[in-house]
Amino acid sequence: MRILVVSDLHGNRAAIEAVAEPHDVCFCLGDLVDYGPEPAACIRWAMANAHYAVRGNHDHGVAQEVPVTGDAGFRYLTRVTRPDMWEALDAEERTYLLQLPVTQRVTIGDVRFLLVHATPRDPLDEYLLRDEAAWARRLESVDADVVCVGHSHMQFKLRVGDKTVLNPGSVGLPRDGDPRVAYAVIEDGRIELKRVPYPVEETVASIQSAPWPDRAKAMLTHVVRNGRLPQPASFAEPSATADGEG
């Protein structure tokens, strides 16, 4: 059994279409929308390919039309791009977004998986990186062998006691300085973290044609080309623990 694990597509159609990984089952860990210019295409990809999918904080925000304030970093980009997301979706795509569960439990063979976007304690918003002690506290009462998470846009796998935490990284908007598509494959108990290039300039062209301020277009273009927000400090990313914008 070969399992493809993807997360944080964020409206980047060209990125998700570059994932040509053979698989039997696909897990999608949320955040199909916001930031990127083609949210409908990413939702359609999930509808067609994800056997199990969960809701991310951005999926929830778009589905519930939650406004965002802020003038820095990813909060600013969410504030600018979100108003266009709902209108970009048709009725079927909106329904899919609205009905995504917050968690999913899946057993494949003898392996028990828990799928959440952020953490088991706070499935939508808690931001946690590769911190073994912090994850140990979050997993004390979790009945699963592999916990699959997204949200941080940082790719890692971490053994915590008798459990494994897997973050496949972000397909559409990596933040670790590597702009390539990030995802993971699980096969025969082995987890492989993978990166592949994609036609970034296709996404840039779509960003440049979007009805957003020039500042937002410049910031998003820099992120997709470089895998991080631009400097100087006026464009710097705020603390993810403070702004919750995964």
DSSP state string for the chain? -EEEEE---TT-HHHHHT-----SEEEE-S--SSSSS-HHHHHHHHHHH-SEE---HHHHHHHTT-----SSHHHHHHHHHHHHHGGGS-HHHHHHHHH--SEEEEEETTEEEEEESS-SSSTTT----S-HHHHHHHTTT---SEEE--SS---EEEEETTEEEEE---SS---SS--SEEEEEEETTEEEEEEE---HHHHHHHHHTSSS-HHHHHHHHHHHHHSS---SGGGPPPPHHHH---
For residues 136 and 160, the answer to whether their CB atoms sit within 8 Å is yes
pLDDT at 243 over 90: no
Token code pair at residue 177? 């300085």
| pLDDT score recorded for residue 60 | 97
164 has pLDDT over 70 = yes
Superfamily of domain 2-96+169-243: Metallo-dependent phosphatases (3.60.21.10)
Q: What is the mean pLDDT of residues 16-39?
A: 98
Counting residues of the chain whose pLDDT is more than 70, the rounded percentage is 95
- What's the whole-model pTM score? 0.94
Taking residues 116-142, report their average pLDDT. 96
pLDDT tier at 232, thresholds 50, 70, 90: low
Per residue in 73-120, pLDDT tens? 999 999 999 999 999 999 999 999 999 999 999 999 999 999 999 999
Domain ranges across the chain: 2-96+169-243
Q: What is the pLDDT of residue 239?
A: 39
Higher-confidence residue of 230 and 41: namely: 41
Q: What are the tens digits of pLDDT across the range 41-54?
A: 999 999 999 999 99
Provide the pLDDT confidence category of residue 231 given band limits of 50, 70 and 90.
Answer: confident
Which pLDDT tens digit goes with each residue over 168-197? 999 999 999 999 999 999 999 899 999 999
